[in-house]
């Protein structure tokens, strides 16, 4: 099994977004929310409208979830990007049932798309826009971690957010490469 990587290049993230927005708003929203909330794919796909919307169906609330893998409680504040993508998806739907899955499959009564469907969507988009990294569903979460680290957030906070048990796991997870190390040497000058 090959390890998947984050999408490091912000231009490639934009390319994937444009590609998915042109194909399917649900897939686009899955990508945007995925790279902005850092949930594992099974937790992301299990989100229902009641997890993100207040009862008025117009206002977003913090996501409160017990992660499937760790059973740890997480509270996630939706940022502007995730909220906007969800709002656009809501506006495209004829009605909202709070018990419906956000990333609802077209097959069956009320089931989310499968992990395999999510993988196929991401692989197709990455291939179409020539993302060089090996992309999988976990790339959404890893992309969040990598860009949080590149933005200068404390690795301990990233570790806590990802519910990792130690910093070594987070370091491997971020996909730090030699060009990242070289950038550190170039930018840090102690006079």
Active-site residues: which are they?
A: 40, 69, 138, 141, 164, 173
Buried residues in 79-100 as b, exposed as e (16+ CB within 10 A) = eeebbebbeebbeeeeeeeeeb
Beta bridge partners of 53: 60
Q: What does residue 66 show for φ and ψ, rounded to 5 degrees?
A: -100, 115
Dihedral angle at the C-alpha atoms of 25, 15, 137, 9, nearest 10 degrees? -150
Contacts of 166 (CB under 8 A, 6+ apart): 159
């Amino acid at each position: 099994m090959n390890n998947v990587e984050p999408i490091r290049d912000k231009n490639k993230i934009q390319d994937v977004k444009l590609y998915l927005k042109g194909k399917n708003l649900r897939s686009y929203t899955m990508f945007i929310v995925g790279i902005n909330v850092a949930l594992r794919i099974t937790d992301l796909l299990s989100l229902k409208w009641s997890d993100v919307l207040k009862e008025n169906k117009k206002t977003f609330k913090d996501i409160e979830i017990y992660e499937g893998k760790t059973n740890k409680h997480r509270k996630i504040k939706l940022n502007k990007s995730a909220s906007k993508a969800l709002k656009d998806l809501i506006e495209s739907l004829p009605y909202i049932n709070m018990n419906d899955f956000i990333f609802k499959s077209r097959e069956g009564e009320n089931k989310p798309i499968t992990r395999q469907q999510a993988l196929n969507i991401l692989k197709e988009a990455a291939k179409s826009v020539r993302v060089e990294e090996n992309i999988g569903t976990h790339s959404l979460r890893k992309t969040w971690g990598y860009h949080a680290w590149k933005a200068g957030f404390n690795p301990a906070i990233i570790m806590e957010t990802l519910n990792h048990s130690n910093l070594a796991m987070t370091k491997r997870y971020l996909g730090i490469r030699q060009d990242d190390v070289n950038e550190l040497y170039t930018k840090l000058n102690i006079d």
